[in-house]
Amino acid sequence: MMFDRTGDLPPIGTWLKIPAPDTAEIAAAAGFDFVVVDLEHTMLSLETAYTLIAIASAHGIVPLVRVPDHRPSTIQRVLDAGAGGVLVPHVDTPEQAVAVARATRFPPLGTRGSGATSRAGRWGRLARADYLAFGNTRALCLPQLESAAAMRDADRILAVDGVDGVLIGAADLSMEMGLTATDPQVTGLIDDVLATASKTGKPCGFALGADPGRARELAARGFGFLVLGNDTSMLASAATTLVTDTRAPSGTT
């Protein structure tokens, strides 16, 4: 991975959903190892993503982008914007994994077009060999496994050249299966994928809420990276707590 472990913990990051540059700077100041700019479940534009990528990079943390779909044009644009990699939602088959992996790599490893005058190429100042090497060896391709079919085919998805790891989408997985996230059928699939990833030497990530105890538990189980909370929910939680505690009768908080 492009980011390193912090002590006993794997790399930890958070989702950025608010279209404001401050969020990336706050996340960096808080000590996150990476951020994920979320283009799937927000109204963020590519221009805003570009700004968030630049700020995160300037503050020394890795900017990843969750793209909204599998389109190579979208993947190419966020990588040329300087993203350290992409999370790709709903990768359900090895064939889809091959397609998104190839979209992140330059020929002959993939189909990504050259855009060395972009931010990723330092606007034409980075040596072409370094620009191509970064795209082919360091930019992360992280499919999200969010269906039972994807989970059962995790070994073949992880075996795809150019796939650097996977992120388990437990919420969509449990919803698709019509079960709770804690149902043994759901947790059993998650355990199987975690074991498979461990055998391949590729990290398996997990997204959760702002729950430090749960994060430490997942780290101890061997998850390779964790996405904790998001800027909108953290703001909402802090605002609600502030108002509730302020209005509470004296001596009850």
Q: Which of 2, 1, 7, 3 is nearest to 219 (CA)?
A: 7
Based on the residue annotation, tell me whether 41 is a catalytic residue of this protein. yes
Q: Backbone phi, then psi, for 225, in 5-degree steps?
A: -160, 150
Structure tokens that stand for 224 in this block? 């390779």
CA distances from 36 to 40, 41, 99, 230 (A): 11, 12, 21, 9
Per the residue annotation, which of 41, 59, 70, 90 is the catalytic one?
A: 41
Nearest in space to 56 (alpha carbons), one of 89, 76, 79, 83: 83
Q: Would you name the residues annotated as active-site residues?
A: 41
